[in-house]
Amino acid sequence: MNPLEIGDDCLVLAQRLAEWVTRAPTLEEDVALANLSLDLLGQARALLSRAGNEDELAYLRGPAQFRNCLLTEQPNGDFARTIVRHLLYAGFLYEMYRAHPEDEVAAKGVKEIAYHRDYAALWTRRLGLGTEESHRRMTAALEALWPFTGELFAADPGLREPWSAFVETTLAESGLAVPGEAPQRDGGRRGEHTPHLGELLAEMQALHREHAGATW
Amino acid sequence: MVTPEEARALAAAVPDPELPVLTLGDLGIVREVRQDPGGALEVVITPTYSGCPAMDAIRDDIRKALPGARVVTVLSPPWSTDWITDEGRRKLREHGLSPPRRTDGPVALTLGVRCPRCGSPRTRLVSRYGSTACKAMYACRECLEPFDHFKEI
């Protein structure tokens, strides 16, 4: 498990989820999304501290130096888009952590991510089987994000099979079709990002750039 | 000069900043108190969740209770709700919070979460995530009271 790659995944996705705070569809989901963000931020801090100085890595790098996968930087979109992104990514992170029980961040994180997977799977069923509109939005989200899933397994192809089993079972239970073969997009692990990462970092790093070394 | 045993008791008696009804000892997050060769005290603690925002406050509170002590944080072995003591569970219940079920050993599927107010097993899950990372939101179908459940991990 590469601490910089997975640490960046966790940091960027934590920042994305935190963007929902005060904007989620209901108060319970606002609280839930903030909790998911906090878990990922805690894991990011532990992993990035292993890769170097956590503050320098978070605040003083530009997009080309980040190693997160493209999936985690994709914008929140509507609630369906956020749920599908979390289903696909938490499904992957769960398998990654489970494959590394000797790693203390993974051994602790797997218990937290198991709840993330449940949360995303529950909402996938609810929205997939809900109304015509919720079903349509879930289908659109799956099609938009599917091209970013191939990149997840570049370092460890063995994780794909258990991930596919989880995702396919969840989609089948939700009345949603698994998207067909789609051209895949990658580059995140090499620092070649979509423009969305630059926008995310501009906001995340603004305070530190304005007041270098500021503390609470 | 306090002995490591006395220091352990002092560290364990520090209240949790988010759930002040419980002490750090009740929660099972004080792993060890030891003395280095120079005689300085070292308190080893473990977070409940990776992202628990109370950790800084907990470190400060331990240093206030034990001036000069060093606080070390470890992740392994990962904390489990099974480490919450019986006394801690009793206090949670008294405080209107449903304590976590034991995860070590078989858990009967019929055992739901009981309402900490009226004791009814007829409860429903409102959200898996609550006001802190360690809690889920429930509501009682019997007395209609909403309550927090300390979720098993």
A201-212 per-position pLDDT tens digit: 999 999 998 998
In this prediction, residue B110 has a pLDDT band, given cuts at 50, 70 and 90, of very low
Report the residue from B52, B77, B131 with minimal CB separation from A42. Answer: B52
Taken in order of first residue, the domains within chain A and their CATH numbers are 3-210 (1.20.1260.10)
CATH of B4-79, one of 1.20.1050.10, 3.30.420.40, 3.40.50.970, 3.30.300.130: 3.30.300.130
> Which tokens hold the place of B4?
């490591």
Question: Rounded to a whole number, what is the distance in Å from the CA of A210 to chain B's nearest CA?
Answer: 25
Q: In this complex, do A105 and B50 lie within 8 Å of one another by their Cβ atoms?
A: yes
pLDDT of residue A172: 98
pLDDT of residue B104: 66
> In this predicted model, what pLDDT tens digit does every residue of A142-187 receive, in sequence order?
999 999 999 999 999 999 999 999 999 999 999 999 999 889 999 9
pTM for this prediction: 0.91
Q: What ipTM was predicted for this assembly?
A: 0.84
Instruction: Give, as one character, the DSSP assignment of residue A10.
Output: H
Mutate to test the interface with B, among A35, A43, A49 (most CBs of B within 10 A): A35
Cα–Cα dist B101/B115, whole Å: 13
- Residue holding tokens 């098993």? B152
Identity of the amino acid at A151? E
B44 neighbors B31 (Cβ within 8 angstroms): yes
Alpha-helix residue ranges (DSSP H) falling in A23-131: 27-51, 54-59, 70-73, 79-98, 104-128
> How far apart (Å, rounded) are the C-alpha atoms in residues B102 and B106?
9
Q: Do B129 and A109 touch (CB under 8 A)?
A: no
A112 and B129: CB-CB below 8 Å?
Answer: no
Distance CA B150, CA B142 (A): 20
pLDDT tier, A2 (very low <50, low <70, confident <90, very high otherwise): very high
Give the list of residues 6+ apart from residue A64 with CB closer than 8 angstroms, or none. Answer: A191, A192, A193
**pLDDT-above-90 percentage for chain A:** 95
Q: CB-based contact (8 Å) between B47 and chain A?
A: yes
Question: For residue B109, what pLDDT is reported?
Answer: 47
Interface contact B44, partner A, CB < 8 A: no
Nearest Cα residue to A73 out of A17, A18, A116, A12: A12
Write out pLDDT tens, residues A28-64: 999 999 999 999 999 999 999 999 999 999 999 999 9
Chain A residues with beta carbon closer than 8 angstroms to that of B153: 111-112, 115
Q: Where are the domains of chain B?
A: 4-79, 84-150
